[in-house]
Chain A
């Protein structure tokens, strides 16, 4: 490996060189026609004037390919809100990056789809907010959206592009999981992501409006398990489990600074999309630094890389290289300490409180959504933390 970096040896022993990243989430814009109350974007949305220009994105994508990134996820917001998306997709194809369009299927998406396909787009991931228009349009806050999405999905398949349907699951649509599976099959999707809501960004603000009961969660998991067996070779179903009811935490992003990086609309490079919720981290920007330097030396990437930062019970845990202590952003949001064990873990002393909070919120009547909005001034509900 050192053959590849013929640099002078630093005077202080450097930390070991991280393995190359495999994935890059390109948040091209925060603009989006939908207003989903579980949006993973930050509460403070970046405005169009502050977005990176086309030339800078092309440089970043070239650098990504050169440092080993394989998959690029063209995301947002709604990525087709960027008029240069076709050019950026063609650029990815030129430099050998596999492109995944993560889209709502609304706005300019339909008009742009054929050109994206011609530009070499590899895969489309379409979000659905529910299995039925009435539910879906209420959740997305956009009348007529669901039908547009279905038309978009049909065109994706007509073009011969592989389609994944992504459904974020919460108490407002958890009864539609079986119908969602049938719909994915009918649309000829090859993959379906049944992604239980992860409570960051807007979803954290709306947690009480989104949290299902444990019984609802278990019923939905059983439906998925049965469908997986029934549909082997027809539909692959990936499941993101709801971690408030989990036994062990997710290995968030495959471990901090181990596999993926995330570039925001304004060019900040984050280890995960929610990392800005951790106070005190220093994020380098692609306007100032090469992507490879940010990956190797960026202070935010090294803050929780490896296992040296861990406290007990993570430090002596046999699973510490499996789940890497779970999610730093969740530890921050719920416990006010980004280096704590993710309370989603049963080994965390706060796990019981997390379960109780989830059960309490799920049992109470759902408050109305605070829909995602630019400069919307959303505030976390009372007692978001534990």
Chain B
């Protein structure tokens, strides 16, 4: 399971969407034959995945927003998106 590099630019391909599930009051990531429950952190990361913003830039935004150490945030973002890339849910 390889993490994404900081300079990678991830995108959600067609057929993958994040949406708020009103019935269960939480965010879900919908993909072919799969639905992932996602927590607020993951939803915040995926909200910034737009096909233009790099992993490093996503980490900058989140580190500022959550006042967290930037290195730690960046490693978390790389690992989480790398996991989704290996499952072919996101692309880079």
Q: Do A and B bind each other?
A: yes
State whether the Cβ of B33 lies closer than 8 Å to any Cβ in chain A.
Answer: yes
* Pair A191/B28 contact, Cβ less than 8 Å: no
* Pair B13/A68 contact, Cβ less than 8 Å: no
Output the least CB separation between A173 and chain B (Å): 22
Q: How large is the interface on A (under 10, 10 to 19, 20 to 34, 35 or more residues)?
A: 20 to 34
Which chain B positions have C-beta within 8 A of A288?
A: none
State whether the Cβ of A238 lies closer than 8 Å to any Cβ in chain B.
Answer: yes
Which chain B positions have C-beta within 8 A of A233?
A: 2, 85-86, 88
Which chain B positions have C-beta within 8 A of A190?
A: 32, 88
State whether the Cβ of B35 lies closer than 8 Å to any Cβ in chain A.
Answer: yes
Binds A, one of B15-23, B44-52, B55-63, B68-76: B15-23
State whether the Cβ of B24 lies closer than 8 Å to any Cβ in chain A.
Answer: yes
Total interface residues in chain B, CB < 8 Å: 19
Which chain A positions have C-beta within 8 A of B35?
A: 22, 70-71
State whether the Cβ of A17 lies closer than 8 Å to any Cβ in chain B.
Answer: no
State whether the Cβ of A160 lies closer than 8 Å to any Cβ in chain B.
Answer: yes
Which chain B positions have C-beta within 8 A of A234?
A: 88
State whether the Cβ of B65 lies closer than 8 Å to any Cβ in chain A.
Answer: no
| Residue of chain A at shortest CB distance from B85 | A233
* Pair B87/A236 contact, Cβ less than 8 Å: yes
* Pair A162/B15 contact, Cβ less than 8 Å: yes
* Pair B17/A191 contact, Cβ less than 8 Å: no
* Pair B88/A68 contact, Cβ less than 8 Å: no
Encoded as 1 (CB less than 8 Å from any B CB) or 0, chain A from 214 to 233 comes to 00000000000000000011
Encoded as 1 (CB less than 8 Å from any B CB) or 0, chain A from 56 to 76 comes to 000000000011101100000
State A88–B86 Cα separation when bound (angstroms).
33
* Pair A70/B33 contact, Cβ less than 8 Å: no
* Pair A70/B86 contact, Cβ less than 8 Å: no
Encoded as 1 (CB less than 8 Å from any A CB) or 0, chain B from 27 to 54 comes to 0101011010000000000000000000
Output the least CB separation between A53 and chain B (Å): 27
* Pair A98/B17 contact, Cβ less than 8 Å: yes
Output the least CB separation between B10 and chain A (Å): 13
The 3 closest A-B pairs by CB, nearest first: A68-B23, A162-B15, A123-B32
Residues of chain B touching chain A, judged by Cβ–Cβ distance below 8 Å, are 2, 13-17, 19, 21, 23-24, 28, 30, 32-33, 35, 85-88
Residues of chain A touching chain B, judged by Cβ–Cβ distance below 8 Å, are 20, 22, 66-68, 70-71, 96, 98, 100, 122-123, 125, 160-162, 164, 190-191, 232-236, 238
* A/B interface sample: 20 pairs, CB < 8 A: A20-B23, A22-B35, A67-B23, A68-B23, A68-B24, A70-B21, A70-B28, A71-B30, A71-B35, A122-B14, A122-B15, A122-B30, A123-B15, A125-B32, A161-B15, A162-B14, A164-B33, A191-B88, A233-B2, A233-B88
Q: A20-B23, A68-B23 are in contact. List 20 more A-B contacts (CB 8 A).
A: A68-B24, A70-B28, A70-B30, A70-B35, A71-B35, A96-B19, A98-B17, A98-B30, A100-B32, A122-B17, A123-B15, A123-B33, A160-B14, A162-B15, A164-B32, A164-B33, A191-B33, A191-B88, A233-B86, A235-B88
